[in-house]
Structures are given as structure tokens and as C-alpha cells.
Structure 1
Amino acid sequence: MMWKFSLPVIFLAAVVCACKHADDPAKSSHEAAHVHGTPKDWKFTLPAGNVAAGRKLFIEAECHKCHEIAGEKFPDIAREKGDVGPELAQMAGLHPAEYLAESIINPNAVIDHDAKEKGYLGDDGHSKMPSYNDTLTITQLADLTAYLTSLKNRDGHKQ
């Protein structure tokens, strides 16, 4: 008679334990991360871009309105007071591609200590450069970054 009552109790306990383990997302995601963890020393690498397409996009997006590039000639464009950004050939030699890409899609990610004095910040303390996070595709970002990183190989602007 005791087996009659013990068997359903054991079955119910097993079901509850199984459900509890399956419903614990923290535990299962932690276990998945352990099994499929991020490789040691992993970092994001931007896909290779097309330099010529990046230069074309630099012009189409009117980046040259605020940024000069030593040795480059761009179409004339009416500059407004306060249109300013760093000269980019020198920047290419100072930073990796991923840093330049982040500066394009999130210009407030890193603000230099002298940005205010150089006129790069608005009255609100944020970069005057607009974010291109919602307007560029990954391919466009890779192309634009490829163009910018290609500038570091120019005389006088090597790393």
C-alpha cells in the first residue's frame, strides 16, 4: 500500500526538479556560456571595406564639410560657422579601424580632454558630429573606415 502513495510522490518530485532546472535561465545561460564561451583575447574586427566606395561615401555624406584630409581635394561646400572636426589623415595613423568606426557611429563614446577648446563640442557638452548609427549599413561603415585607415600610409602621417 505504501508503494501506491510513494510512486506518485516520487514522480511529482522528479517533475518539479526537472521543471525548476529548465526554468532557470540564469543557470542555463551560464552553462551555455561556459560550454560556448567567448574565446580568450577575442575582439570585434570590422569586416574589410572598399576604400574607393568609402571615399565616395565620405563625399556623399558631406564629411568633408567638417573634416579636412591632407592632400585630398573635395567638392567645394559652404561651411557654416562652427563646422569643425579633426584633420583625418593624422587620426588614421593614431587609431585602429574599430576606434574610427566607433567614432562614426557613436561620436560621444570617447571625448578628448581638449575637445571643447578645439570647438568639437556643442553647448551641451556632446560632440557636434552627428551619430551615423541609424543611417549607415555595416558595409558602408566598413567602406568608410577602410578609406580612413588607408590615409595612414601617406607621407607624414604614418603611425
Structure 2
Amino acid sequence: MSGKNKTLSNLSNYLLVFILFCGGLLISSCNEDARGFTLPVGDIEKGKATYKRLSCNECHSISGIEWKGGSDTLNIQLGGEVSIKKSYGDLVTSVINPSHKIAPSYKQKTSAEATNEGGLSKMKNYNEVMTVQELIDLVTFLQSEYKIKTQPTGYYPYQY
């Protein structure tokens, strides 16, 4: 093996070790407290019933469920075609801590519609009203309402 090839081989070995080290560092920095957290499988129909019972349709709309909000109510669309599906964790967080992340499109609406004076979500706190099983079923129902819409890439396969 020539000196130049040996140098390139050593350099690529060092680069590989560096990449593996960085990857290990990245993985080890993940949140240890969240590791292994999962909830049992929910029931879509029971989740739909919970959605209606808690009157979620006074502020949120989902296809196939009658809208109960007034003309002055903020109508937040849930479900439908999206490019990235809402994760189970995102939906659980949105239900139990709605002020955690308020969508930019709702922040643009007048603050009186989407948030209170402190900038927090106007969504009611259901943490003491809903059982854990109802939360599981509700989130399972909500997640089932989202459909992935693939975006066209502009790339087409070769035609022979």
C-alpha cells in the first residue's frame, strides 16, 4: 500500500471513530426520564365518545362530528390531511398541557380569541375531569383522524 493510500485509510478510520463518538454522545444526551414511557392501546370509539362528552366540539372541529361552537368561538380544526402526523406524545401533551405549544396560526389571531391575558391557551384544564383511560382513548381517536398526505417531490422515475 502506498503512503498516500495508507494516510487516506488512517484518516477515514479516524473520521469513522469521530462520527461514532459524536453519535454515541448524541444518543447518551437523550432524556433518560422519558425513555420507556408508553401508554396502553386506546379505543377509537370510546375516544370519540369522550370527545363529545367533554364538549371538545365547542372549540375544535373534526370531520364527521357536529360543530357546537358559536360564531365568536375559535374553531380549531383537528385531523385531516397533514404532511407530518401528530405523534401520540404531542397529542397527549396538547390535552393535558394545552399552553405548552400554541400553534403560530392561532397566535396570529387576536389574542382574545386564542389565548388569555397571560398568553396561555384558553382551553379548559381537563386533568381532574378525565380519567387516564379516557385520555388514552381520546388521543387514540384524535390520532386516527390525521391522514398523511405525501408531498410531490418533483422527481420522476426514469422511463425506458
**TM tier relative to shorter chain:** 0.5 to 0.7
- Report which stretch shifted further, 52-61 or 106-115: 106-115
Three-state SS of the structure 2 residue aligned to 1:139 is helix
> 1:51 corresponds to which residue?
44
> 2:20 corresponds to which residue?
none
> 1:126 corresponds to which residue?
120
The one-letter code of the counterpart of 1:103 is: S
Three-state SS of the structure 2 residue aligned to 1:94 is coil
**Gaps in structure 2 of 5+ consecutive residues:** 1-30, 151-160
> 2:21 corresponds to which residue?
none
Shift of 1:106: 0.8
> 2:86 corresponds to which residue?
95
Aligned-residue CA RMSD (Å): 2.8
The one-letter code of the counterpart of 1:129 is: M
* Structure 1 consecutive aligned stretches of length 4 or more whose deviation exceeds 6 Å: 38-41
Among candidates 65, 69, 76, match of residue 73 of structure 1: 65
The one-letter code of the counterpart of 1:102 is: T
Specify whether residues 87 and 40 from structure 1 end up closer, same or farther in structure 2 by C-alpha distance, changes over 3 A only: closer
Distance in 1 of aligned mates of 2:91 and 2:124: 14
Structure 1, residues 7-30: CA drift from partner, whole Å, max 9, x if none?
xxxxxxxxxxxxxxxxxxxxxxxx
The one-letter code of the counterpart of 1:47 is: P
Shift of 1:90: 3.8
Whether 1:145 and 2:139 are equivalent positions in the alignment is yes
> 1:84 corresponds to which residue?
74
Greater helix fraction, Structure 1 or Structure 2: 1
Structure 1, residues 42-61: CA drift from partner, whole Å, max 9, x if none?
24222211000000111111
The percent of aligned pairs where both chains have the same amino acid is 28
Three-state SS of the structure 1 residue aligned to 2:136 is helix
Greater strand fraction, Structure 1 or Structure 2: 2
The one-letter code of the counterpart of 2:54 is: A
> 1:104 corresponds to which residue?
95
Distance in 2 of aligned mates of 1:140 and 1:134: 12
Contact 2:59 2:75 in 1 (8 A): yes
> 1:20 corresponds to which residue?
none
**Gaps in structure 1 of 5+ consecutive residues:** 1-37
Q: Based on CA coordinates, which of the two structures has the bigger radius of gyration?
A: 1
Contact 1:46 1:98 in 2 (8 A): no
TM-score scaled to structure 1, two decimals? 0.61
Equivalent pairs counted in the alignment come to 116
